[in-house]
Structure 1
Amino acid sequence: ALDVMPILTIDLGTDLVPALALGSEPPEPGIMDKPPRNLNEHVITRSLLLRSYLWLGPIQSLAVLSAFFYQYWTNGYWGRFFDLPAEGPLYHSAVGMALAAVVTTQIGNVLAHRTERSSIFKVGFFTNKMVWAGIASELIIILIVLYVPLFQEIIGTAPFPVENWLFLFAWAPVLLLAEELRKGVIRMIEQRKEVIHHQEG
């Protein structure tokens, strides 16, 4: 669904400003109540890898592949996974759908990663305006890549029907809600541990 040029578009284009925006995120509420980080702990931890590759990654992959096949299935190839056109306008529009699905799911993803444990609903959606600038930038970039002929040629995309954006934006909150579920479970476990600790004390 995505070869080298679309992947570079994500890494060096759509993801760049949202990632920088996370660097300007205010401290998470309650951060000073937590014990200090272990000095030997790496930035890339086991929990980060598990969350990325076994939790959020598969969900986003499902969204991207579903968008890719959606374009085929709504254009005469219903239910088929194999022997689909691998070149031509339909293929390039399917690549465009897959690339756009990365962008729409990354909207939920960047909001989800604003906190480690706190709910985004408690922190507030608009307390980091840079994040929204990042979201705006990735939407502008994907529109340019999909609808400007020069970039279509370079990246290997083609436009798709406007109504397909409804399908794509339906995926936008999924990663956010998945992370809210995970964070809610973590907070519940921590609260139970605190209750047991107080009872034992």
Structure 2
Amino acid sequence: MKRQYAVIGLGRFGGSICRALSEQGMEVLGIDMDEDRVNEYSSIATHTVIADSTDEGVLKNLGIRNFEHVIVAIGENLQSSILTTLILKDMGVSKITVKAQNDYHERVLLKIGADRIIHPERDMGIRIAHQVVSKNVLDYLELSDEYSIVEMAAGEKMSGKSLQEMNIRAKYGCNVVAVKRSHEVIVSPHADQKVEEGDVLIVIGGEKDISRLEKDLMA
């Protein structure tokens, strides 16, 4: 049985989620008040509907409670975003992900019970900043306030050395969870795994620890 998702708000962010979920074979209900947006995604999502998500009766009629995951991707209208999230929570939707416009918006959403908050513009800005500042950081994802996961290109200093020799976990407090080499991905590499220049290391650690690792070994 296909997993069922509902995406409320079919702007650039919500629309891209709707498209991606549909391409993965999921059942997707797209909801928006704008008729043009709904028509645009009518051939992409499983179902689309013109509806006001701040109307509890409308959401009940759509059977929104039966969807295992609802993504609230409403754009600039913070009041609609907050009210929609509150209604979904009161209706007992099992998982609610919401796009936040700012930190204040996020705090309100967390207080009313949103399960996950996304800051697409802020998160993309952070990723690009890390890529611009460092020639070795290929991608960056903030997991929490304390931990991040990065893709780092191994430099000449690492070439021919094993993970144990570099003592990455003990010295830097970081964990190498995978090594990508050409088309091969080595998951949970052993301590004796040797690294070659040009390998991509997928590393989890604290922000400062990752910075120290990069400064010492990635150049």
TM-score using structure 1 length:
0.24
Q: Specify the structure having the higher radius of gyration (Cα).
A: 2
Which structure has greater strand proportion?
2
Higher RCO structure, 1 or 2 (CA under 8 Å, sep 6+) = 1
